[in-house]
Structure 1
Amino acid sequence: MNSTHRQIAVIGGGLSGICSAYFLAAKGYEVAVIERRAHVAEEATFGDSGLLAPGAAMPLTLPGALATFACRFEDEPRVLLASGTDFSRRRWMGATRQAQQHHFAENKLRLSRLSAYGQSLTQQLQAHYNLDNENGSGVFHLFRQPAEAARMEAMQEAARQCEFKHQVLDAAAIRTLEPAFSSEAKLSGALYYPDDQAGNCVLFAKQMRNAAQALGVSFHFESHVRSVSAEFGGRVALQVDSPHLAPQMRVDAVVVAAGMASAELLRPLDTDLPLRALQSYSALVPVKNPDDAPNMALYDDSYKVAMTRLGSRIRISGLLGFVPPSQTLPPKALRNLLKIAGDYYPNAANYNQAHFWSNTLALLPHGLPVVGPTRQGNVFVNVGHGATGWAASVGSARLLADMVSGEDTEIPIDGLQPRDVLA
């Protein structure tokens, strides 16, 4: 253990924060999780797709400039855009496209490797604690557009390097594995990963909170961290609004895993992460005809939408929006989610009985998470996992715990650290 980091505060009670706290406590640290909500997993984690899928894991990529801005006028947009000119959004999307065009293959490999590590850790934790997460095996990665299918070669190369089982399929071959898959579905390509999984990410996060508490982690809810500042002597001061914590806390190290709030907390510490807030939309629908419902999960690359079976329910999640959070969800988003699900499994569910919600995601232009020490050596960050980031969140949390303790990480961390995205 790094003896200079005895007491550690983790800011954020989503899956990244919970698992960071768990792995740190397992190494012997005294850990406190500070969460502004009343419970864990109520923000980005609540909107997670449920994919535990290193093969299908994708760095965020968006349509090209013309296609993206045409989305504003489409009935079935792939990206929702707020009206008006937003130059910061344009710059961010430009950086995203640069990453896609020039670094897609290496970023895909990094994310696949991290997600495979996280999937393995998740399976070990599930076995160790006898956790039930409604897991199912097998994920189809579907490409509607030829330009998207053109990336399959890079994805297959990542699969070969990571030794993932995978197959290239057409719609007829998908129906051999999944007879309920629609014969009307139009695809430009598809990959099948038999060892990828899908399950209940929120349930897993809540169970990991219990595991962390058993190791001595304390959780402090309805507590808002206003600022993080370095003090002379190597400690970190937190200004906190909380019904049960002192207004100022001093700890040996801090892990910032607070979604979009991370950017504001880190900026005064000379760590200006290019995080962008995007909305992600989800629907939960009851299965109507079990014989017509999917047994395996799918990920639609065109719309960034995942469809997973959770017992007698189907979860549809994804579809990104550059729009402000609102209690009234955009009708286009709701129609799109159900339309996409209906394209593949039209008779599976009572889609008119869908329950909808929206979540805010904090994403970086290269589409990867960022984990590790900031320029302030005892302030660490673990953010940016996205709507399909279950496996990556668990893997990042273990990497972070190793970095905090000064130990060698079990997989390479190049391209994933804060210094890799800072100017």
Structure 2
Amino acid sequence: MNSTHRQIAVIGGGLSGICSAYFLAAKGYQVAVIERRAHVAEEATFGDSGLLAPGAAMPLTLPGAMATFACRFQDEPRVLLAPGADFGRRRWMRQTRQAQQHEFAENKLRLSRLSAYGQGLTLQLQAHHNMEHENGNGVLHLFRQPAEAARMPHLQEAARQCEFKHQALDAAAIRTLEPAFSSEAKLAGALYYPDDMAGNCVLFAKQMRNAAQELGVSFHFDSTVRTLSADFGGRVSLLLESPHLASHMQVDAVVVAAGMSSARLLQPLDTVLPLRALQSYSALVPVKNPDDAPSMALYDDSYKVAMTRLGGRIRISGLLGFVPPSQTLPPKALRNLLKIAGDYYPNAANYNQAHFWSNTMALLPHGLPVLGPTRQGNVFVNVGHGATGWAATVGSARLLSDLMAGEEPEIPTDGLLPRDLLG
């Protein structure tokens, strides 16, 4: 145990912050989680797709994917764009394109390895704490366009290196595995990962909060960290707005796991993270005909949308938008989610009874999370996992706790550290 980090504040009560707190407390640290909302898992975690799927795990930055960002004028845009010039968005997209062209295969392998690690940890935690879950086995990764299916050799190579079971399928083979799959859906290719899973990420996050509290972690809600500053003597000061905490807190170390707020908090400490806010759109629909509903999860590569079965409900999530958060959800997003679900399972659910919501995610240009120490040695970061990042989030939290304790991580962290991103 690193004795200089006895008291640790974790900023953010999503899955990243909860799991970071849990693994740190398990190593004997005194940990407090500070969350601006009234409960855990109310922002990016609430919008998670539910995929627990190292095989299908993908950096957002795929070769050719940025063409989808030019779909503003289509009736069925794959990514929603706000009108007008946005030079920050253009710069972020250029960085993303560079990652696609030069680092896709390497980043895919890194994310698959991290997600496999996190999937194993998740199953261990569920078993150890006797957690309720809605896990289901098998994920279909679907490609509508030939240009998207052309990436399959990269994905299969990553699967081979990580020893994931996988199988390339045509539409007929998919229907053999999944009889409810619609014969009207036109596909250019598909990969099937039998050991990938899907479940209820929010349920897991809430139960992880209980497990963390049993280890002594304290949770402070309705509390916002305004600033971080490094003090003489190696401590960190937090300036807070909170109904039940003092306005000033001093700790030995801080973990910043606060989504888009992470960039604002870290910038004064000479750590500039190129995070970009994207909206993720989701729908929950009741199953109408169980025999026509999916028995396994699927991920539509073209629209970046996942469908997961949760008992008598189907969750459709992941459509992205470079648009400001709004109380009114864009009609195009809502139509798209239901269209995509209907393409594959038209008779499965009462789609006219869908419940919709939107969440903000913080993403990095290379499509990977970033974890570990910043230039300020006792300030750490754990952000950027994305809408399909459940497994990667759990894996990242464990790696972070090992780094903070001065222990050797169980898997390589290359490409995931802040210094790899910032240079």
TM-score range, shorter chain: over 0.9
Q: Match of 1:262? A: 262
Task: Please tell me whether the aligned partners of residues 121 and 394 of structure 1 are also in contact (alpha carbons under 8 angstroms).
Answer: yes
Mapped to 2, the partners of 1:353 and 1:228 lie a distance apart of 45
Distance of aligned partners of 1:25 and 1:267 in 2 relative to their CA distance in 1, 3 Å threshold: same
Describe how 1:228-247 pairs up with structure 2 within 5 A: 228-247=228-247
Q: Match of 2:147? A: 147
Q: Match of 2:60? A: 60
Q: Deviations over 1:22-67 (max 9, x none)?
A: 0000000000000000000000000000000000000012685983
Q: Match of 2:73? A: 73
Q: Deviations over 1:272-295 (max 9, x none)?
A: 000000000000000000000001
Q: Match of 1:179? A: 179
Q: Match of 2:15? A: 15
Task: Please tell me whether the aligned partners of residues 288 and 347 of structure 2 are also in contact (alpha carbons under 8 angstroms).
Answer: yes
SS in 1 for 2:176: helix
Q: Match of 1:321? A: 321
**One-letter code aligned to 2:191:** L
Mapped to 1, the partners of 2:13 and 2:69 lie a distance apart of 35
Q: Match of 1:347? A: 347
Q: Deviations over 1:244-290 (max 9, x none)?
A: 11100000000000000000000000000000000000000000000
Mapped to 2, the partners of 1:28 and 1:116 lie a distance apart of 26
Q: Deviations over 1:212-264 (max 9, x none)?
A: 00000000000000011100110000000001111000000000000000000
Deviates most, 66-75 or 256-265:
66-75
Distance of aligned partners of 1:94 and 1:377 in 2 relative to their CA distance in 1, 3 Å threshold: same
Mapped to 1, the partners of 2:385 and 2:159 lie a distance apart of 20
Q: Match of 2:193? A: 193
**One-letter code aligned to 2:40:** V
Describe how 1:11-410 pairs up with structure 2 within 5 A: 11-61=11-61, 64=64, 67-68=67-68, 70-410=70-410
Mapped to 1, the partners of 2:230 and 2:133 lie a distance apart of 40
Deviates most, 27-36 or 149-158:
149-158
Deviates most, 68-77 or 131-140:
68-77
**One-letter code aligned to 2:55:** G
SS in 1 for 2:266: helix
Task: Please tell me whether the aligned partners of residues 80 and 323 of structure 1 are also in contact (alpha carbons under 8 angstroms).
Answer: yes
Aligned residues: 423
Q: Deviations over 1:145-175 (max 9, x none)?
A: 1111111111111111111000000111010
Q: CA deviation at 1:327?
A: 0.4
Mapped to 2, the partners of 1:415 and 1:65 lie a distance apart of 21
The question of 1:421 aligning with 2:415 is answered: no
Distance of aligned partners of 1:302 and 1:234 in 2 relative to their CA distance in 1, 3 Å threshold: same
Mapped to 1, the partners of 2:203 and 2:365 lie a distance apart of 29
Task: Please tell me whether the aligned partners of residues 62 and 68 of structure 1 are also in contact (alpha carbons under 8 angstroms).
Answer: no
Mapped to 2, the partners of 1:336 and 1:15 lie a distance apart of 27
**One-letter code aligned to 2:323:** V
Q: CA deviation at 1:181?
A: 0.2
Which ranges of structure 1 fall in alignment gaps of 5 or more residues? none
Distance of aligned partners of 1:102 and 1:345 in 2 relative to their CA distance in 1, 3 Å threshold: same
Mapped to 2, the partners of 1:387 and 1:338 lie a distance apart of 18
Q: Percent identity?
A: 87
Distance of aligned partners of 1:406 and 1:66 in 2 relative to their CA distance in 1, 3 Å threshold: closer
Which ranges of structure 2 fall in alignment gaps of 5 or more residues? none
**Aligned CA-pair RMSD:** 1.0
Mapped to 2, the partners of 1:198 and 1:39 lie a distance apart of 23
SS in 2 for 1:37: coil
Task: Please tell me whether the aligned partners of residues 19 and 208 of structure 1 are also in contact (alpha carbons under 8 angstroms).
Answer: yes
Task: Please tell me whether the aligned partners of residues 72 and 81 of structure 2 are also in contact (alpha carbons under 8 angstroms).
Answer: yes
Task: Please tell me whether the aligned partners of residues 66 and 97 of structure 2 are also in contact (alpha carbons under 8 angstroms).
Answer: no
**One-letter code aligned to 2:375:** R
| TM norm structure 1 | 0.99
Mapped to 2, the partners of 1:69 and 1:417 lie a distance apart of 28
